[in-house]
Structure 1
């Protein structure tokens, strides 16, 4: 009888629950929403975008804010939830996130990657936990809090949710950035995804390396596998591979020897595919090799790098040629000088929260590159410190306390950005 009576008291008295430690059984609603979103299988090669749009439509209703859906390519919809400012003529704030996630190897995960399991330490496992469904929900929950508090801001705030970022963004942000609906957003400053940081610091990204995906075609003399055939495709292929991988070693050495460089400051080269041949005893008439290159914005792409590829092809042998599957040429970066009003607003707010910022060039590619390419400032930022970098890795997770702190961060950041006084170009 005593136990039953105590249980009734505990269930009714929230304050007592918290004091007695029973609160560990009560999950924060924002965490529950995050886990719900993680369970949506927006995973390539067949992401369930309809499920994501249904979820976001519900968020729009809950927030009391309109959502616009723009189909930029067949089956590829950009969703925008808008909180109109008191002075819509001012440039808007864009909070961007992508809805898709990369594939998984389920056998390599300790939990189902789409079950959003939370362990006893509060670590939430799921594909997209870091990249970047956490940020999507942090945006939504920060806006929910601000609206509930009755806040209003001069500048309009757009939360934008785009597809296909994980496969290059060609049917997502790259297409939408050219769409008339993007122009109507009147964007002045954008926030997009960043990376976790295993230290106390928070990493912010002001630029990105350019992704170049290149295939080198090596034609050669065919023949019987029993002969010393001259001028073979394989011989040319070997020279090409040696040239690229020798350069790779030099860049790796630069990174290893410099205390100032991060991965975003050097060019990475990785051989990713080799094709050619029809049978063991037939010397092929053609072979090709593909490379993934990530080039910093400090490198002269046309004069230095493409000319280098041309030289390697010429050195490899007659008729060796190349073509690009992807060749991003824009090298715009966002100012991180204290004189820049957007950066000053962002960094000073972080400093006021005792956050130490570490500025870097993003080592991979995000949708921010398309935003910067049209001359708009964009900062890559995911507020995840004391967290291992696990994007695209097995057992991707985010701790619930880190996740909740991220909501607090956006709750402080968004008002400062949305209350930015009119800039000279707006006056």
Structure 2
């Protein structure tokens, strides 16, 4: 018996709300209910599920597979993460794990934007394509991974190193994007490299009543000036506060450490900086520049506590057949596209490191950006539109 569009829409919304009610929130996430939810959804669509546990038994990677007519072709991967960030419950006007559906067409919940709605759009698009009798040429894998919100070390980072991932034979991947207040759909085709730097500034110690030469704070002043000057120069390159963030190198002083007592001049003071290096910036040149600041300050040691990898960028041009297929589906639906470098980090970076093209995208346009914020919500109408868009995207990608 054919199912009406209204019935399918209601099923999709109910599936999303059920998923959002699972408090897969850090710390100490219990992924068991998420795994069971995925298994139930896959069973209702008629698709098999397998589970990999690349890092720990309690951190599953759940894989739903729709076999293509030509399974030897490289497959399409649609990835999402199951975990969500913590909430300040007193700041919410709706229960953060209640998935309340309001009369003005909103669904409130932690994870509604980041990124459980994406996952449901994938599944529901596949459901509808199967009901229409569509048979993809390429296999489609829909993956649900843990721990993205805490760096992905036990999630996608571990999974891509397994034989199970290799067996998926991924040719192209899609992952999360972000909501956007305008009409456009944002496309992520690359990310910045995540670094953590420490500057250990040393100097002469002594009594707080004495003006001795070369205190550590004198070196601190030089380093802070250089860090903040560089920060301002990069900030000046930002013409659009949202679209240009990923293009520039972000430098922020996050900690100052040192001293034991008010009247004791310390022998060293440490500056900690969070740095996100733009794909346009050469890593070796950056280190050379920062080391130069240390040399200028004198008696200052640079420690690279975390050196991010050089993150690849998926080219958005005529040479990328996957991009052309995705772009065609969006343009045929009269959707406008904004390609940007992701200002944060997603699991797509681990896939790009394998030289597999990957694009981040979610259909949440005309929606305020509320990921990790209080009262995170999506518009039901936009969510449902996204299912239709992913139908066309999957059609195009599997025909490449």
TM-score, length of structure 1 as denominator length: 0.87
Residue in 2 aligned with 1:397? 377
Contact 1:97 1:136 in 2 (8 A): yes
CA RMSD, 1 decimal: 2.3
Q: Find 1:157's aligned residue among 119, 137, 140.
A: 140
Unaligned stretches of 5+ in structure 1? 1-14, 421-427
Q: Give, in angstroms, the shift of residue 383 of structure 1.
A: 1.0
Change (3 A) 1:313 1:144: same
Contact 1:91 1:155 in 2 (8 A): yes
- Asked whether 1:371 is paired with 2:354, we answer no
Residues in 1 aligned to 2:334 and 2:9: alpha-carbon distance in whole angstroms: 27
- Asked whether 1:284 is paired with 2:266, we answer yes
Matches within 5 A, 1:9-24: none
Residue in 2 aligned with 1:312? 293
Residue in 2 aligned with 1:52? 34
In the alignment of these two chains, the number of paired residues is 395
Contact 1:220 1:285 in 2 (8 A): yes
Contact 1:215 1:288 in 2 (8 A): yes
Matches within 5 A, 1:96-115: 96-115=79-98
TM-score, length of structure 2 as denominator length: 0.93
Contact 1:40 1:48 in 2 (8 A): no
Residue in 2 aligned with 1:356? 336
Residues in 2 aligned to 1:390 and 1:113: alpha-carbon distance in whole angstroms: 13
Change (3 A) 1:373 1:403: same
Contact 2:24 2:83 in 1 (8 A): yes
Q: Give, in angstroms, the shift of residue 314 of structure 1.
A: 2.2
Change (3 A) 1:352 1:261: closer
Residues in 2 aligned to 1:232 and 1:71: alpha-carbon distance in whole angstroms: 52
Q: Find 2:362's aligned residue among 382, 389, 392.
A: 382
Specify the SS of the correspondent of 1:76.
coil
Residue in 1 aligned with 2:118? 135
Q: Give, in angstroms, the shift of residue 239 of structure 1.
A: 2.4
Specify the SS of the correspondent of 1:28.
helix
Residues in 2 aligned to 1:27 and 1:408: alpha-carbon distance in whole angstroms: 10
4+ aligned runs moved over 4 Å, structure 1: 258-261
Change (3 A) 1:279 1:57: farther
Matches within 5 A, 1:256-295: 256=239, 262-295=244-277
Specify the SS of the correspondent of 1:345.
helix
Residues in 1 aligned to 2:9 and 2:331: alpha-carbon distance in whole angstroms: 30
Residue in 2 aligned with 1:4? none
Q: Give, in angstroms, the shift of residue 117 of structure 1.
A: 1.9
Specify the SS of the correspondent of 2:95.
coil
- Asked whether 1:33 is paired with 2:15, we answer yes
Q: Give, in angstroms, the shift of residue 395 of structure 1.
A: 1.7
Residues in 1 aligned to 2:241 and 2:369: alpha-carbon distance in whole angstroms: 20
